[in-house]
């Protein structure tokens, strides 16, 4: 695992500066504390920070081909590199390392840019082909590893994190109004935007080519869930029967390393299944990690302990208090150079720091919700079908919404009133937009009151991101379309960003075997009835888990890695919140209407309205802006 960065100047007589590259590398040193590597060839410079996991002594970057005419810096892991290496050696290529990075270089020599289609892994890399004067940058299929870029008047600048790009003196910091609007709705900034105008994310499953000064971006992969709509009953039975072995193989592939491997264990079905498979691959050698919260309604450590004992991991538990979590809140923006309003980044960061005390590589359960239908919003879509069919429109718009709004406000973890109010608020909307409003924060109407007039946008502009994904999706069935949307937006923009930034801030590599290419191909062919069966989420995962895990775990519903944000905003975080959302500060910055923000805070404190998501979204942005905005 590493961090990468680089520059390519338009003027071929403008030399890349090694000292500047080193400075850019230092901003992402947490991603790779073991080594720094630089490559300079006239007007191009590449930089790398390395966290050594495979071939510890022999694979410092950059890596070169035999003639040293091609150089690469690489962030990630290629899980099928042993088989690729055998194939490339048979074709006549010579290797000087034992790592996975070199397979990309020789694969590029053998297959050109189509090499990305053969890679099974998580990655972002930059390859310089001196003979062709070509820069080739690619990002993995689902966006596990990040890559940002910008074009200035001088040339192209890129990096694993925005902070590496901002370290270049030719880059300006300007908030993108479209990105801010999207952040307020989704709680993250969707690709290809970043929060800064002119800085972009390379979308997952895409590559960027700068060929003799001409830049183009091309897709090389997408998940085609429409395949599942053509799967025969016989093929479905074959898929189901073969899934346990496939899951085992994916986990085994992702355990390849020259360092000890652990697992982040929540006690949910995804991470528990990963842990069970890891324990089968290497019995008695797996370390598992969890945190124990002092608030019972948010604590999952009991379930993690049950799983650890059942599958036989060496289990580590870190007890944490509300004070431990609260102390981290103001510091998150130091490594989050883009705002993210997912509060679970706080416990994820603490868990990553804890795991890093013992290992430098862990596996996690990310991806299971999106591939195998784990979110309660999917159940809500199914229920909404009956709700809209059975409850007349005038009742939905009047009586039902009025009743839901009168429910007493509770600050408990995903309380019943919170669920009912969210559900009722999504009726009579197109499913794709409804889905985002259930998951996200501010509605268009709420943003109209919040934003200053010159920043207000129409609903169609905000949800153009959703429309774009729906146009790309070739599936017909609603559940497949929602699953596709989750993968392309929430998973990529929130879940994977959270895990990457939290873990890499602690110099911990997290691999996610449920997003292994083997399982992506499998999920594309598996009918969604094996994912959401009636109202049972993760149906196939539960069938497999039934023979591997205690039934108490198999039958558990999804809880999520939550913290008591609603209570904190009206209690121990109130002072920080009042300070960061102070009217004078908001007037000075010029984004938000102070009276609207104050009204939200007053209603929340008085328990008139649970504004946890709205206030947390604003608080997160303001803390981020104080660190990175100026």
Active site residues: 2
Please, are residues 93 and 110 in contact by the beta-carbon 8 Å criterion? yes
Report d(CA 183, CA 190) in Å as an integer.
Answer: 8
Instruction: Return the closest-CA partner of residue 142 out of 513, 547, 465.
Output: 513
Closest-CA residue to 72 (of 50, 39, 42):
39
Preceding peptide of 62 cis, ω within 30°: yes
**Alpha carbons 283 and 358: distance in angstroms, whole number:** 18
Give the integer Cα–Cα distance in Å for 447 and 457.
9
User: What is the number of alpha carbons within 13 Å of residue 452 lying toward its C-beta?
Assistant: 10
CA atoms of 511 and 516, how far apart (whole Å): 9
The SS3 assignment for 111 reads helix
Upstream peptide bond of 617 is cis (omega within 30 degrees of 0): no
> What span, in angstroms and rounded, lies between the C-alpha atoms of 41 and 541?
50
Residue 5, classed as helix, strand or coil, is: strand
Asked whether the beta carbons of 49 and 25 are under 8 A apart, the reply is: yes
Chain-centroid distance, C-alpha 203: 12
* Alpha-helix runs per DSSP H in 255-339: 269-281, 301-311, 322-328
Beta strand segments in 79-198, E: 121-129, 134-139, 148-151, 155-159
């Amino acid at each position: 695992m590493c961090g990468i960065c680089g520059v390519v100047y338009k003027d071929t007589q403008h030399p890349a500066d090694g000292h500047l590259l080193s400075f850019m590398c230092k901003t992402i040193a947490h991603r790779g504390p073991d080594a720094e590597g630089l490559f300079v060839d006239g007007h191009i410079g590449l930089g790398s920070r390395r966290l050594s996991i495979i071939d510890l002594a022999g694979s410092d970057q950059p890596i070169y081909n035999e003639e040293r005419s091609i150089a690469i810096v690489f962030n990630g892991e290629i899980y099928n590199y042993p088989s690729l290496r055998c194939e490339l050696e048979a074709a006549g290529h010579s290797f000087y390392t034992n790592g996975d990075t070199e397979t990309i270089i020789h694969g590029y020599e053998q297959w050109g840019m189509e090499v990305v289609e053969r890679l099974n892994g998580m990655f972002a890399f930059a390859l310089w082909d001196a003979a062709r004067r070509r820069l080739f940058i690619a990002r993995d299929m689902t966006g596990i590893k990040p890559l940002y870029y910008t074009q200035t008047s001088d040339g192209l600048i890129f990096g694993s994190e925005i902070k590496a790009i901002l370290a270049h003196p030719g880059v300006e910091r300007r908030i993108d109004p479209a990105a801010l609007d999207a952040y307020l709705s989704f709680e993250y900034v969707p690709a290809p935007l970043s929060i800064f105008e002119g800085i972009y994310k390379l979308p997952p499953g895409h590559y960027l080519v700068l060929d003799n000064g001409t830049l183009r971006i091309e897709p090389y992969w997408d998940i085609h869930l429409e395949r599942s709509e053509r799967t025969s009953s016989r093929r479905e039975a074959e898929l189901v029967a073969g899934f346990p072995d496939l899951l085992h193989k994916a986990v085994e592939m992702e355990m390849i390393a020259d360092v000890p491997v652990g697992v982040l264990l929540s006690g949910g079905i995804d991470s528990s299944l990963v842990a069970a498979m890891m324990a089968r691959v290497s019995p008695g050698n797996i370390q598992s990690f969890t945190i124990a919260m002092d608030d019972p309604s948010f604590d999952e450590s009991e379930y993690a302990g049950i799983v650890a004992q059942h599958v036989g991991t060496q289990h580590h538990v870190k007890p944490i208090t509300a004070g431990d979590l609260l102390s981290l809140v103001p510091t998150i923006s130091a490594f989050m150079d883009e705002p993210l309003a997912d509060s679970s980044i706080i416990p994820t960061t603490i868990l990553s720091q804890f795991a890093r005390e013992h290992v430098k590589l862990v596996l996690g359960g990310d991806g299971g919700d999106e591939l195998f239908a784990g979110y309660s919003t999917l159940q809500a879509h199914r229920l909404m079908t009956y709700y809209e069919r059975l409850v007349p429109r005038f009742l939905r718009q009047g009586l039902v919404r009025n009743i839901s709004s009168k429910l007493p406000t509770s600050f408990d973890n995903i309380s019943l009133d919170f669920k009912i109010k969210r559900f009722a608020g999504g009726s009579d909307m197109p499913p794709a937009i409804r889905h985002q409003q259930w998951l996200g924060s501010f509605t268009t109407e709420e943003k109209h009151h919040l934003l200053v007039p010159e920043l207000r946008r129409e609903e169609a502009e905000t949800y153009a991101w959703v429309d774009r994904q729906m146009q790309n999706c070739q599936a017909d069935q609603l559940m497949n379309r929602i699953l596709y949307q989750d993968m392309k937006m929430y998973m990529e923009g929130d879940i994977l960003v959270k895990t990457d930034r939290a873990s890499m801030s602690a110099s911990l590599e997290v691999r996610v075997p449920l997003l292994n290419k083997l399982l992506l191909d499998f999920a594309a062919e598996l009918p969604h009835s094996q994912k959401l069966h009636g109202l049972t989420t993760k149906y196939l995962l539960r069938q497999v888990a039934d023979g591997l895990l205690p039934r108490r775990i198999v039958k558990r519903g999804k809880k999520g890695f939550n913290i008591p944000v609603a209570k904190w905003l009206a209690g121990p975080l109130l002072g920080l919140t009042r300070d960061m959302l102070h009217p004078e500060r908001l007037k000075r910055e010029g984004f938000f209407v102070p009276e609207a923000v104050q009204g939200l805070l007053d209603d929340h404190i008085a328990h008139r309205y649970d504004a946890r998501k709205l206030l947390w979204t604003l608080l997160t942005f303001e803390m981020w802006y104080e660190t990175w905005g100026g």
